[in-house]
């Protein structure tokens, strides 16, 4: 897929986010009809995935604050059958979750065969926020890169395709979006003083993301760096990559369990 080559992170390659332009659109101009056509393909393929039930799709969304995770979910997944699509938002772990290994709560949320699972934040928080805020020692979070790779390889061995998207915005764009949350009464609820505090750690988060993208982009679960300043292009690119992944599964409707030719309704 041509678009994928622009944003995929090759395994063990060096990642410098400042070399990736968050305004880039890979030569694409806004085309709402093209996006709707891609979304229609997605709806059809999701229905096919749900009927086929041989495979599952896990979409991991990560971004700095105001990066567009919620917007990507609401726009890209608009119109899909909610019966076969689940969104899990990972927030600060509770006491029960802290009493288990860091992947325990994540594994429970992975999609069943036939379903699409979407992680709004994910297990990667355990090599991002815990690193930036020094919530665990370095020798603990440093081991987690390999543990994550092993976990994701196990999932792919169980016919779960994994797409990992880092929504890449600029610091100036983040400022504009946070200011919009303050100025728009319908979006005030999305603003938190924690957003301001986290913004002060921008450089630390960039470094943590660069390491996670480099160490955990694998042949079986690659990372994609999505230029996300332009919301239309962000949605279009993510939708195209999801459609491509579903196309690659060779999905088909199962054979009927009865001989349809002998069924007569009176």
Q: What is the C-alpha to C-alpha distance for residues 77 and 62, in angstroms, rounded to an integer? A: 16
Summarised one tens digit per residue, pLDDT across range 138-175 is 999 999 999 999 999 999 999 999 999 999 999 999 99
* Domains of the chain: residue spans and CATH: 2-262 (3.40.50.300)
Question: In the predicted model, is pLDDT for residue 265 greater than 80?
Answer: yes
Summarised one tens digit per residue, pLDDT across range 221-232 is 999 999 999 999
- Segment 187-196 mean pLDDT: 87
Model confidence at 1, in pLDDT bands (50, 70, 90)? confident
pTM, entire model: 0.96
Q: Contact, 71 vs 231, CB < 8 A?
A: yes
Question: In the predicted model, is pLDDT for residue 195 greater than 90?
Answer: no
Bridge partners, residue 141, by sequence: none
Name which of 17, 13, 23 is nearest 205 in CA terms: 17
Question: In the predicted model, is pLDDT for residue 123 greater than 90?
Answer: yes
Secondary structure class of 226 (helix, strand, coil): strand
Averaged confidence pLDDT in the chain: 96
Where do we find the tokens 């979304």?
39
């Amino acid at each position: 897929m041509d678009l994928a080559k622009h944003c995929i992170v090759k395994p063990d390659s060096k990642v410098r986010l400042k070399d990736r332009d968050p305004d880039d659109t890979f030569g694409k101009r806004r085309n709402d009809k093209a996006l709707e056509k891609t979304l229609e393909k997605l709806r059809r393929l999701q229905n096919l995935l749900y009927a086929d039930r041989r495979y599952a799709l896990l979409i991991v969304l990560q971004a700095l604050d105001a990066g567009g995770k919620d917007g990507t979910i609401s726009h890209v997944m608009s119109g899909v059958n909610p019966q076969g699509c689940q969104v899990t938002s990972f927030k600060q772990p509770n006491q029960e979750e802290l009493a288990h290994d860091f992947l325990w709560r994540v594994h429970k949320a992975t999609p069943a065969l036939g379903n699409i699972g979407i992680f709004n934040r994910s297990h990667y928080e355990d090599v991002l926020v815990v690193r930036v805020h020094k919530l665990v020692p370095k020798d603990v979070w440093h081991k987690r890169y390999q543990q994550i790779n092993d976990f994701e390889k196990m999932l792919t061995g169980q016919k779960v395709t994994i797409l990992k998207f880092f929504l890449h915005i600029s610091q100036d764009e983040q400022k504009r979006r946070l200011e919009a949350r303050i100025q728009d009464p319908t979006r005030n609820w999305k603003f938190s003083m924690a957003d301001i505090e986290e913004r002060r750690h921008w450089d630390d988060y960039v470094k943590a993301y660069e390491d996670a993208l480099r160490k955990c982009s694998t042949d079986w679960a690659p990372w994609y760096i999505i230029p996300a300043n332009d919301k239309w292009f962000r949605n279009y690119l993510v939708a195209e990559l999801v459609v491509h992944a579903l196309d690659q599964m060779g999905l088909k409707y199962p054979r009927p369990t009865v001989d349809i030719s002998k069924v007569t309704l009176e």
